[in-house]
A and B are shown apart, each in its own frame.
Chain A
Amino acid sequence: MNQALDSKTLEDSLLIVKQQITLMRKCLESKNPQFMDALKHASTFLSELRTNKLSPKLYYELYVLVFDGLAYLSDFLKESHQTNHLADLYELVQYAGNIVPRLYLMITIGSVYMSIENAPKLEIMKDMLEMSAGVQDPIRGLFLRYYLSQKTKELLPTETESELKETIQFTITNFIEMNKLWVRLKHQGHSSERERRLKERKELQILVGSNLVRISQLDQIDKFYYKESILPKVLEQIVQCKDSLAQEYLLDVIIQVFPDEFHLLTLDDFLQSTLHLSEGFSMNKILVTLINRLIDFQKREPANVKVIISELSTLTLQKDEHEENHTEESDSETTKPQTSSNLFEKFYDYSHLLVENKPELNFKDLSLILEAICKLSLSYYPQDYENINKVFGFALALIHQTTQHLEIWEPLLKTPICYNFDPKLVLSLDDNYKQFASALPTAIQSANALYILEKFLEQDVRLSTVEEVKTLYELLAVWFTSEDSSDSNTNSLLFGTDSSKNEPDESPEVVSQYEALAKSIHLIHHTNPYKHFELLEIAKSFMSKSGSRVRYTYPTLLFAVIKLIRKLTIVQKLNALKLKQFCQFFSATNTELLTLVSNGTLQSEGGVLAQTCMNLNLSMALILDQSSHIDLSYEFFINSFVIYEESIVDSRLQFQCLLSIIGTLHKCRNIVNGNEDNFDVLISKTALYGSKLLKKTDQCRAVYLASHLWWIIEELDEEDEIESETAKTSEDELQVVIKTDNKKVLECLQKSLRIADSCLETNVSLELFVEILSRSLYFFIHGNELITIKYLNGLIELIQNSILTIGEENTSIDTPTKHFQRTLEYIRQQAQIDSRFEEIKDR
């Protein structure tokens, strides 16, 4: 049909209807209402509804206008029924020659009649319903019956039980008839227009569904009545109409309009009937909607759910008894599987039946259904992991039947972790889950692993048993085995792309995976540090499988060990034997990391890793010093030096590493006191390293910094000050002297001064001179006797001359000059509180 023609037809009809409505209203609104004439106008505009030239959508527009027109008539009749006897009018309009106008008029008058007290409501209802059978044309019939339903909706009697029964009967009959017409519509018109018919039928679906809405609005219906007398009748029609559009829409309407408690009680009936739906019907939408409703219901009204489930089990029991009796009579009857009141069981059994009964069902649908069932179990039986195991067992069986489109199973895989508050659930699942996961493509496994881990991290879930640690890392197993990205990296190298960029090019995914993995080490926790250590060992056994990527995780692991030692030190429970184990573990792990550096796997990234390794060693050395294991500490310092010598090649890194070494050594206490010889070896070596650095500036700075290693004093902090108020009087007593060696300090300063002086660029030298002055002042203040006024004055003079030589105006020395000015200012200030400073000459 031509659309332009269609809308022209509509316009013409609308015009006629409007005119006739106006005329009708004139008749009704005049002082002496001319009711007969009004009826004639009504009948004329109703005749427009006889058209078969309009698509359902346009017909609906016409219907709406007609509906409004008839509403005037209804209102008039309501007010004037004393003068216009409704029973007579009801007969009168039946003389209309054409059936469509006749029935609209009958329903208009009939519904007004129903609204009047003592009217024979039931008879009127029945009569209107029965007479409507005369309209067999699907579209006209649907709209007529919709009119019937609209006009009677507020008027259906429900006072007594028998009235309620009639009302329901009325509505269900109308529903069946409308469904019939609606399904019949698909056979109308030319066979080449099937698609269009389907679209039109979709547009009309709401008319059919309105009957179910009507029933759902009857407050008098309780769930038992629904189960016994309503749902079976409706489901029967839905199943038998064998039309997938009708089935899909109507089942959805049922789920949407009736309360959740009804669904819960009638679950068996509902599920049973869906097994008989026609092919091509997409099951998952309905089931998923239903399950989601039930889940929400559980969340909203858990108490109510409990009550209904217990009612359900009573019902089931009764039913079983009934069936038993029945089977006694006829043994041939096949025994039905025991129905349980466990919702999960219901759905789980159902999913099997579905596979058996509907071989055409696709895996995508099944996966969605299983996902929903999984969610249901998590919501209703959050502790019952066996349910989830069952689901994955079933999914595993299904997935073995196919190799295609495995990605559809991803949501199911994620469900246990996604819909449970406690991520640990996933650790309680049996092998089915892991096997299921490993049957899926690596990318999906990998994403799921990250998903799981992120949940754990998000909620800071502690892993405190061997089982938990093992299971979690087993779930992440996919990361430890796949080295795909490094393979692809070799490929790109083969083709010589960007050889300057040598670092293994990790994908962002891998980086985020390993980042999470490293964080996961902090989740491992046990109140007993030795047990905790065992868990770390297990973790390492998994991490060790990830090749060069251990560089992301091992450092964390090593820090975890350091943390354990610190903890034990604080509580003073460090067992020497266990400590040895810790140290071995630490060294072995660290060595593995260094191997990556030495075998060149990491190219330029290796330096940074070596630095990390060295720093880890330093940390270990420090904590061992603090726990008074000075020999072990010494070993780790030596190890650090070995790493420095063997693996730190880059000069910049060397300088940084030296700073770390100096800093760490400076913090040591026990080794200085316990074995000063060893300490002297270490610090001398350090100073030596400093003097061997590549750049003069680095050399100079490293050496003057190393000077502090011969001058270690611990200043007491505020709290200690208050405690020992008496000590306040003497300056010396404010500090605890660890190590002071005036001579060595001076040597270092002198050496650094020489190095500074040997710099080719005078501005650089100047800068270093100023820095050395600052250091010298520090030692002067703290009482190094070899740093004398004379020495300081000499330095100042040196600097001043240097500035003069370069020229004050030279901008290249702005920074050191300013630094120098500030230093002088500082000296002036100090002079006010410390008379020694007065002798320092300034200009």
Chain B
Amino acid sequence: MPSPFQSFQSNLSPSKHTQSFQELYGEPENFLEIEVINPITHGSGSSMYTDYEIVCRTNIPMFKFKESRVRRKYSDFDSFRKVLESQTNNVVIPKLPEKSFFNYHRFNDDFIEERRQGLQQFLKVIAGHPLLQTGSKALTSFVQDEHWNKSKFL
């Protein structure tokens, strides 16, 4: 019976790795913060719409900027999601928050807040997905580019 005190090292070839100081004390390489905040409703009448600010802070090199702030509408999220679905087949893309059933309801504060949270959750999951990070150019473009141009990806 093996002794319980056989250290895990002793059963293996000696480890060739010693941690460097950078590794011991450096910033982890998985820093990624996505926030959807600051909804603003623009225009009036039938051209009225709300957009949201996407704040991204990261040290993951797939992103072009360490910190970025862009504004997107719900419809942008919607088209972004469609792009993702068309690009990948083995990644389950989470759903966006529901569309409002009643149109008059769309600019209600509670609704906007609920939607903001939903969009943030959606984007967090998407942005943190390793396959999308590496496989989808649309992701970094949507999160960080000043303007979102879905036609580039469809």
Contact = CB atoms under 8 A, between A and B. Distances in A.
Asked if A and B form a direct contact in the complex, defined as CB atoms under 8 angstroms apart, the reply is yes
A183 B25 CA distance: 6
A191 B34 CA distance: 11
Contacts of B24: 176, 180, 183, 237, 240-241
A90 B7 CA distance: 13
Interface string A147-189: 0000000000000000000000000000010001001100100
Contacts of B9: 130
Contacts of B57: 191
B25 A123 contact: no
B153 interface: no
A831 interface: no
B4 interface: yes
17 contacts: A90-B5, A94-B4, A123-B3, A123-B5, A127-B5, A127-B7, A130-B8, A130-B9, A131-B8, A176-B24, A183-B25, A184-B25, A184-B28, A187-B28, A240-B21, A241-B24, A242-B25
Contacts of A180: 24-25
A191 B5 contact: no
Nearest to A88: B4
Given A130-B9, A190-B33, A191-B57, A87 B4 contact: yes
Interface residues of A, number: 23
B31 interface: yes
Interface in A116-166: 120, 123-124, 126-127, 130-131
Interface in B1-29: 3-5, 7-9, 21, 24-25, 27-28
Contacts of A120: 5
Given A180-B24, A187-B28, A240-B25, 10 more contacts: A90-B4, A120-B5, A124-B5, A126-B7, A127-B5, A130-B9, A183-B24, A240-B24, A241-B21, A243-B25
A577 to B, nearest CB: 83
A243 B21 CA distance: 12
Interface in B60-115: none
A126 B7 CA distance: 7
A91 to B, nearest CB: 4
B5 A187 contact: no
A192 to B, nearest CB: 9
Interface residues of B, number: 14
A187 B7 CA distance: 31
A556 to B, nearest CB: 67
Contacts of A243: 25
Nearest to B20: A240
Nearest to B1: A91
Interface of A: 87, 90-91, 94, 120, 123-124, 126-127, 130-131, 176, 180, 183-184, 187, 190-191, 237, 240-243
Contacts of B21: 240-241
Nearest to A109: B4
A124 B4 CA distance: 9
Contact of B7 (A87, A130, A190, A241): A130
Interface string B24-60: 1101100101000000000000000000000001000
Contacts of B8: 130-131
A241 B4 contact: no
Contacts of A237: 24
B28 A241 contact: no
Nearest to A89: B4
Nearest to B25: A241
Nearest to B2: A91
Pairs of residues from A and B, 7 with the lowest C-beta to C-beta distance, nearest first: A123-B5, A240-B21, A91-B4, A241-B25, A90-B4, A180-B24, A183-B25
Summarize B's interface: helix, strand, loop or mixed.
loop
A126 B3 CA distance: 14
Contacts of A131: 8
Nearest to A131: B8
Contacts of B33: 190-191
Nearest to A126: B7
A698 B117 CA distance: 102
Contacts of B25: 180, 183-184, 240-243
Which one of B21, B24, B31, B57 has the highest number of Cβ atoms from chain A below 10 Å of its Cβ? B24
Given A180-B24, A180-B25, A242-B25, A187 B4 contact: no
Nearest to B4: A91
Contacts of B31: 187
Nearest to A129: B7
Contacts of A176: 24
Nearest to A119: B5
B7 A123 contact: yes
Contacts of B28: 184, 187
Contacts of B3: 87, 123
A794 to B, nearest CB: 113
B3 to A, nearest CB: 8
Contacts of B4: 87, 90-91, 94, 127
Contacts of A241: 21, 24-25
Contacts of B5: 87, 90, 120, 123-124, 126-127
A87 B5 CA distance: 9
B146 to A, nearest CB: 22
A240 B21 CA distance: 6
Nearest to A120: B5
A94 B5 CA distance: 12
Contacts of A187: 27-28, 31
Nearest to A92: B4
A237 B9 CA distance: 24
A131 B4 CA distance: 12
A171 B58 CA distance: 36
A112 to B, nearest CB: 14
B36 to A, nearest CB: 14
A264 to B, nearest CB: 28
A187 B31 CA distance: 8
Nearest to B59: A187
